[in-house]
Amino acid sequence: MEQDAVKIKSANKILLVANPKNEEACLASIGLGLSLRKLGYSAFLATNPENESVQRLAKPLLWQGYELREFIISVDTSEVPLEELRYEQTDDKKRLDIHLKPLVGGLAQDRVGFSYRPVRWEAVGIIGIDNLRELHEIMSQNSLHLFDTPTFYISSKRPFDRLGAWEVINENASSVAEVVVHWLKKFFNYSPTDIEATIFLSSALSGKNDSLNIDLLKDQASTNLLRFAAETIEAGANTKEASRLLLKKSLETEPDRENQENLSQATLVETQTEPQNEQETPIPTAQQVMVHESEKFAWLSLTKDLAKNENMTENKTSPAEMLFNLVVKSKPKLNGGFVICETTTGNPHSEFRCWLTHQNPFLLNQLSELLRAQNKEAYIVFSVKASSLSEAEAKVLKLSKAAFEFS
């Protein structure tokens, strides 16, 4: 295994293979390819992703099948030895002339042949593919041949078959992107920045919030996702670009800013409020993010039980906050953000308190300040009684329609 690692690290031409239907693996492969090129490697992607937005990112890395092929001219000199072999390039550099001068006589056309030599890759990376059948299908469709090429396999889950001589697997990781990033750090001492970090963030989230419904703290994997998201954002990931990519929009297309300023002019009406006890205000901790497209609201539910979540740290934006910002920013037409806090749990007719902001996008890291300052101009408070969070949600949505003007 150490020998394979040395071969891979000393390789120059590296081919990366991912299932074109797997958006998460394709994005991770693109991030890896860009990182390897920054490190001086000649890295290419073997497959073109199906997603159009991802295709645009993959284009500079895509191997076209002919870029590295060798075109061979073969001359049979067994009967007519050559006296001279030279080549000339025309002044406009549009043609290369190869001159063959026989020692005696002429050179018949049937003595000259043409052929190709397939690319001999120095290393092949297999990203997020689970079995040999899937790998062989992808390779055959793209006319790829591994020969005796050293291979390495990167995934966040154990494969059905042994696919690489060197396996890089972390089943506790939130995504294959997280495995790739940590592998780059450990093996190449390289930390992705800017565009690579953005792509890795998109990869990690691509299979987690297709409908923009994120159960952030449901299990350990979700907690890992929060940590990894924070890690990529700290490394320079652009959450706005990542969210556009997740919504299958071009990274080069500006988001629709229509109604962006509507919130500042929204009409607030009198609603039933209750005095707030500052000591009872829970630390904001994300449990679930939902976007109500018809009402143009982003909804974030909070529970007191999760207030001591380890991802929350003083004076620092938590991963949960970062992900919420990512979701809200991906919907530029949102008119507001809900934050629901379940003040008591497990009892019928619990009391739910809702802070309704008219700032856009709603930033969670400002919530604690707003609550402590009780800034009535920044938000209004609803208090409703319900037997479940979903019932509270329905009641608050109904009340809120009177609080905003919708276009």
Per-residue pLDDT reduced to its tens digit, 177-206: 999 999 999 989 999 988 999 999 889 888
Q: What is the pLDDT of residue 196?
A: 93
pLDDT at 31: 95
**356 touches 378 (CB < 8 A):** no
Q: What is the mean pLDDT of residues 71-77?
A: 84
Asked whether 383 and 392 are in contact (CB, 8 A), the reply is: no
Percent of the chain with pLDDT over 70: 49
Domain annotation covers residue 406: no
Q: Which range of residues forms the domain containing residue 233?
A: 2-66+120-246
pLDDT attached to residue 56? 86
Same-domain status, 204 and 155:
yes
Highest mean pLDDT, choosing among 161-170, 191-200, 332-341: 191-200
**pLDDT band (50, 70, 90) for residue 247:** low
Regarding whether 377 and 276 lie in a shared domain, the answer is yes
Q: Is residue 254, in this structure, part of any structural domain at all?
A: no
The Cβ of residue 72 has, within 10 Å, a number of other Cβ atoms equal to 10
- Looking at the fold, whether 151 and 17 belong to one and the same domain comes out as yes
Token pair listed for 176: 């294959």
Asked whether residue 255 is assigned to any structural domain, the reply reads no
33/302: higher pLDDT: 33
User: Does 46 share its domain with 188?
Assistant: yes
More confident residue, 27 or 353: 27
Opening angle at CA 385, ends 285 and 306, nearest 5 = 15
Residues 126 and 53 grouped into a single domain:
yes
* CA–CA dist 358, 361 (Å, integer): 9
- Listed residue (364, 337, 339) closest to 263, CA to CA: 337
Same domain, 93 and 129: no
The last residue of one of the domains, among 102, 117, 132, is 117
Task: Name the least confident of 121-125, 276-280, 291-295.
Answer: 276-280
Tokens of 252: 């080069």
Asked whether the predicted pLDDT for residue 393 surpasses 70, the reply is no
Place of tokens 């042949």: 113
User: Which of 65, 71, 88, 80 has the alpha carbon at shortest distance from 145?
Assistant: 65
Over residues 205-214, the mean pLDDT reads 50
In a domain, 253, yes or no: no
Residue 171 or 222, more confident: 171
CATH code for the domain in which residue 172 is found = 3.90.1640.10
- State residue 138's pLDDT score: 76
Is 108 in the same domain as 241?
A: no
Quick one: tokens of 35? 């990182």
Using the 3D structure, point to which of 117, 148, 177 is the last residue of a domain: 117
Q: Which two tokens stand for residue 137?
A: 């299908």
Kindly tell me the number of DSSP H helices and DSSP E strands found in the chain.
Answer: 11, 15
Out of 212, 246, 280, a domain closes at 246
Tell me, yes or no, whether 251 lies in a domain: no
Q: Are residues 267 and 203 in the same domain?
A: no
Residue 405 located in a structural domain: no
Considering the domain architecture, whether residues 296 and 242 belong to the same structural domain is answered as no
Whether the Cβ atoms of residue 168 and residue 4 lie closer than 8 Å to each other: no
Residues 50 and 175 in one domain: yes
Instruction: Note the pLDDT of residue 314.
Output: 40
Percent of the chain whose pLDDT exceeds 90: 10
Number of domains in the chain: 3
Give the containing element (helix H, strand E) for 17.
Answer: strand 13-17
* Res 182: pLDDT: 93
Q: Which of 40-44, 88-92, 350-354 has the lowest mean pLDDT?
A: 350-354
State pLDDT tens for residues 303-321: 443 333 333 334 344 444 4
Q: Per-residue pLDDT tens for 47-68?
A: 888 877 788 889 889 887 654 5
Task: DSSP for 245-305, please give it.
Answer: HHTT--TTSPPP-TTTTGGGGPPP---------GGGPPPP--SEEEEETTTTEEEEEEEGG
Task: Order the strands of the 297-303 sheet from edge to edge.
Answer: 214-215, 288-292, 297-303, 336-342, 350-357, 379-386
Mean pLDDT of 252-256: 36
Q: Please give the span between the terminal C-alpha atoms of the chain, in angstroms, as a whole number.
A: 62
Whether 257 is covered by a domain: the verdict is no
> What's the half-sphere exposure (Cβ side, CA atoms, 13 Å) at 70?
8
- Do 197 and 270 fall within a single domain? no
Average pLDDT, the chain: 66
Q: Say yes or no: 9 and 143 in one domain.
A: yes
Q: Give the mean model confidence (pLDDT) for residues 242-271.
A: 38
Q: Is residue 195 part of a domain?
A: yes
